[in-house]
Structures are given as structure tokens and as C-alpha cells.
Amino acid sequence: MKTVSVGHFKAQFSDFLDQVRGGERIAIQYGRRKEPVAILIPAREDKQFPNRSLGFLHGKASFKLGADFKMTEEGFLKG
């Protein structure tokens, strides 16, 4: 996964979108500590995880679990 600063990402936004379209994942860092704040992934990757309903928030919110997530959904929701 490629990691870039917000400034670099903004300056070459179109180039990074082309890379993401090609399958690359890009982490975006922010601040002096360069902490990752977002990861841009290809849309086709996002579709591999089905949307999950959140009860009374149905249609207003959702969450997705990655394939490498170690906790069961039931354990996650019970906290």
C-alpha cells in the first residue's frame, strides 16, 4: 500500500485516482505526526463486503468488516 501526505495527494489527485482504478490502495497521512487518516481503495474491493443493517439506523448508517477482522460480528456488536 502506498502512503502519501494530504498535500501530495491534493497536488496529484488525478494521478492517484488512476492508480486506485488500477487496483492500488493509498493511505493518506495528516498532520505533523503523519498519522494515517484514510485509505482509498478501489470501488470493486468495497463491494465484496455486503452492507449490514444497524437496527434503528437502517438506511442511515452502515459498517463493513474486512476479511482479516478476527472478531465475530456478534462479539463486535455486543462490545
Q: What is the pLDDT of residues 19-68, one digit of tens each?
A: 999 999 999 999 899 999 999 998 877 665 555 555 667 777 767 777 78
- Give yes or no: residues 59 and 26 share one domain: no
Domain holding 64, by residue range, is 49-79
pLDDT at position 46, please?
66
How many domains does the structure of the chain reveal?
2
- What is residue 57's DSSP assignment? G
Q: Report the CATH number that the domain containing residue 7 is assigned in CATH.
A: 3.40.1620.10
Q: What is the spatial distance between Cα 30 and Cα 32, in angstroms, rounded to a whole number?
A: 7
Distance CA 60, CA 36 (A): 26
23 secondary structure, DSSP code: T
Shared domain for 11 and 38, answered yes or no, is yes
Q: Do 12 and 38 fall within a single domain?
A: yes
Query: Which residue is listed with cell 462490545?
Result: 79
* Res. 9: pLDDT tops 90: yes
If you average pLDDT over residues 6-19, what whole number do you get? Answer: 94
pTM, whole model, 2 decimals?
0.55
Report the pLDDT averaged over residues 14-23.
94
Same-domain pairing of 19 and 3: yes
- β-strands 2-5, 26-30 pairing: parallel
Residues 36 and 64 in one domain: no
Same-domain check for residues 35 and 67: no
